[in-house]
Amino acid sequence: MASSSGRDAGRADAGRPPDAGAGTDAGFSEMDSGASVDAGTPEGCEGGPLELPIAGCRPEPLPSTGDPYEDCVRRINQLRWECQCLPPLTRWTEGEACADEHAEYDANGAGPHGGFRDGICSPGGRGQNECPGWGSVPQVIGGCLQQMWDEGPGEPFIEHGHYINMTNPAHSRVACGFHTTDGGEVWAIQNFQ
């Protein structure tokens, strides 16, 4: 689900993961180590950001650092850079505890974007994407974030909100958060500021 008005502006839901029976949720719109991905300059990026993403861009996820928060930011930046020549977002470490709280709150019955909508913690960011009920953190990093990217570009926000949040020029940082349920489902949040 995504919305572009009032408190729901910037929310997007990327749906359920394939094969896992759970999902991605494209965000809400309302980082602090440099998590840039230096893969050189992709062909066509010499002139700066592209107006539209490269069609069918599906870069292989980077090797894990062992830190899911860092891996999440690196994957977002990989998609931004390799698929549209966009500059990296900064890892928003001060927002990670709130992103974790959002993931847990939503997984425990509030549903996608419940914590963001209800303002349960701060700082919560201006925009939120969510991957609800995925099978593992690597599936979130490699699958959910790619699905969100693949939504764009376009309007309305409800159909393209994840991509819009990931590429919004007003966003300069991102905080990722995670919660694993007792049943093993991973709920992941990306709060953009």
Is residue 69 over pLDDT 90? Answer: yes
Is residue 150 over pLDDT 50? Answer: yes
- Mean pLDDT within 76-99: 98
- Mean pLDDT within 89-100: 98
Is residue 19 over pLDDT 70? Answer: no
Is residue 21 over pLDDT 70? Answer: no
Confidence of residue 23 (pLDDT cuts 50, 70, 90): very low
Query: How many CB atoms neighbour CB 163 within 10 A?
Result: 26
What pLDDT is recorded for position 44?
79
CA distances from 110 to 39, 54, 155 (A): 39, 36, 27
Task: Look at phi and psi of residue 9 and say left if phi exceeds 0, alpha if psi is from -120 to 50, else beta.
Answer: beta
- Mean pLDDT within 32-38: 42
Is residue 36 over pLDDT 90? Answer: no
Confidence of residue 184 (pLDDT cuts 50, 70, 90): very high
Is residue 124 over pLDDT 50? Answer: yes
Confidence of residue 43 (pLDDT cuts 50, 70, 90): confident
> What is the length of the chain?
193
Is residue 8 over pLDDT 80? Answer: no
If one compares 137 and 20, the residue with the highest pLDDT of the two is: 137
Is residue 106 over pLDDT 90? Answer: yes
Report d(CA 112, CA 14) in Å as an integer.
10
- Mean pLDDT within 80-94: 97
Confidence of residue 39 (pLDDT cuts 50, 70, 90): low
Q: Compute φ and ψ for 154, nearest 5 degrees.
A: 145, 180
- Mean pLDDT within 114-143: 97
